Chains A and B, each alone.
Chain A
Amino acid sequence: MAAPSLDELKRIAKTIRKDIITSTTEAGSGHPTSSLSGVEMAVALYFGGYLKHDPKNPNWPQRDRFILSKGHAAPLLYACLAEAGYFNKDLLHTLRKIDSPIEGHPNYAHARAAGIGGIEASTGSLGQGLSLGLGHALATRLDGYDSHVFVMTGDGEIEEGQVWEAVMAAEKYKADNLTAIVDQNGYQQTGSTHEVMDMKPLKPKFEAFGWFVQDIDGQKLEEVQPALAKARANKGRPSVIISRTTKGWPIQNLIGDPNHHGKPLTKEQAAAAIAFIDKN
């Protein structure tokens, strides 16, 4: 498959943003701002040729894995999976509703039982995805597959101790088929990460554990794409992309407002946001 042009990826990013806003507003709950910050990264993975996957054969053993450890950004994952053809886009209207396999946070067993592919893990209790990703990386290496595992965490999420247990172990096992993506949008539930639990400087922390570290503007596809290429080509150690983003990007009245964590937009706000995305 020829990789789509930058313009094409930007167009897809707009679609994903609109789907995030529409589905959470329709659901009446959810985390649109946490989903919006990760859009460029997820779009580059699913549509830019950096994630080897097949929507028609979601359990293909040689596939790459994308694990959304920050499970509250589920609307981002669902929008990408629908756009990629894992399931019909109409399903996005059922987000968070009773009987829907696309729940508030990813539910692996429910999705599988419903025949919905692409959801690699149940997440939502923060801090667990990187360990799962390491397990996948070790398993695919035992099988001799050229599979790469990408795990997206939040920047608040990495306050969980388990993340650093996984960071240690991934280096021990030289898991160069594992890439962590820290969606560093600067906010957690009650305030900025700077106020709640400042992890800066983050880069030397990962470097001290022996990881290959890239620090990029995660809202710029022009920076995201080469970073993913370098992460995939990296050998001998695990890699991390610290993806500096903006929570709620690019909707101006959501940015820098911690009161918008876990809150959908009103219908009027959603309409204005979608008009803004269409225009820019």
Chain B
Amino acid sequence: MARKMGKSVREAFGLTLAKLGEAHNDIVVVDGDVNNSTHTGFFAKKFPNRFFNVGIAESNLIGVAAGLASSGKRAWASSFAAFIMCNAYDQLRMSVAFPNIDVKIVGTHAGISIGEDGPSQMGVEDVSLACSLPNFTVIVPADEVSTEKAVNALAGIKTPAYLRAGRPNVPLIYEANTPFQLGKASKLREGKDVTIIANGLMVAMALDAADALAVKGVQARVLDMHTVKPCDDAAILSAAQETGRIVVAEEHLAHGGLGSAVAMSVVRQHPVPVRFVNLDDEFAESGSPEALLKKYGLTADNIVKAALELKK
């Protein structure tokens, strides 16, 4: 189904953060010289004295954000997912997660859908790394509407969080008035035969897959599991009990992302067969986003295939 295109998650984040800055003068932003890519530039233009570009130095970026937060500011730190999570991981662990302070991390240009810049720029392990940080909430929004709500919701909690923001414009999934709650999956479609659990740009593909499955007489439930940690155990339990089969789809390496979180939850609560549509244990390559998603298997067709395999 053709869906109306919306803004990218990174742009929706940047616009929302700038709006938050108007209402809250304790919000500060730290950048690693990519604010025109992450869109924290919107905030920087409005509030230059609360914006700190510390240069291409992610370790110090996180440390400065943590210091600002320790002295009572609400700090948002943003760079590319690959750089902020991988280059500054010990700082996230030691200066943010361990002291459990209010720093929000936004990693943009996550996944392979950044396209032509290639694997060095693709954060494909960021969710796994973020989930391995105690005290962190981890969010992967699907569209601009839910991103705005997620950013506002994160601003309302006092503990650290990671928000993953992709580069390309993505289809609109939500209406402006759709409710959003941290830690609670959004049920986008009801179904009794299989549940597709997805997040990020795979949510639109999950809905496309559900349409295709319906043509074949398979009714798929679709859950947007935007919060990977804490993941919605209750929604997963219902899915396992009521549909008996689960397909998880994410733009992330197989290890440690949404698939792992769902699998753990299923096994603990109500074991049923689960299939995964995600990235194999390898690095991708340069190419157009569309070509990459196809070549590396992140398609509605593969979700359909996985669901039908479970139905056999």
Contacts and interface: CB of A to CB of B under 8 A. Distances in A.
Interface residues of A, number: 34
Interface stretch (A130-138, A182-190, A204-212, A240-248): A130-138
Given A125-B90, A165-B54, A132 B70 contact: yes
Contact of A166 (B60, B65, B90): B60
A98 interface: no
Contacts, number: 112
Interface string A132-146: 111111111011000
Nearest to A131: B63
Contacts of A142: 28, 49-50, 73
B172 to A, nearest CB: 37
Interface residues of B, number: 31
A200 to B, nearest CB: 24
A162 B59 contact: yes
Contacts of B198: none
A161 B55 CA distance: 14
Contacts of B98: 107-109, 122
B94 A138 contact: no
Interface string B70-98: 11110100000000000000110111001
B150 interface: no
A109 B96 CA distance: 11
B72 A139 contact: yes
A108 B50 CA distance: 25
A173 interface: yes
Given A128-B94, A132-B70, A166 B28 contact: no
9 contacts: A61-B72, A109-B99, A132-B64, A134-B64, A139-B72, A162-B59, A162-B91, A169-B54, A173-B52
Given A108-B101, A136-B68, A162-B91, 19 more contacts: A108-B70, A109-B98, A122-B98, A128-B94, A132-B66, A135-B68, A135-B70, A135-B75, A136-B67, A137-B67, A138-B67, A139-B67, A143-B71, A162-B57, A162-B60, A165-B55, A169-B57, A169-B60, A172-B54
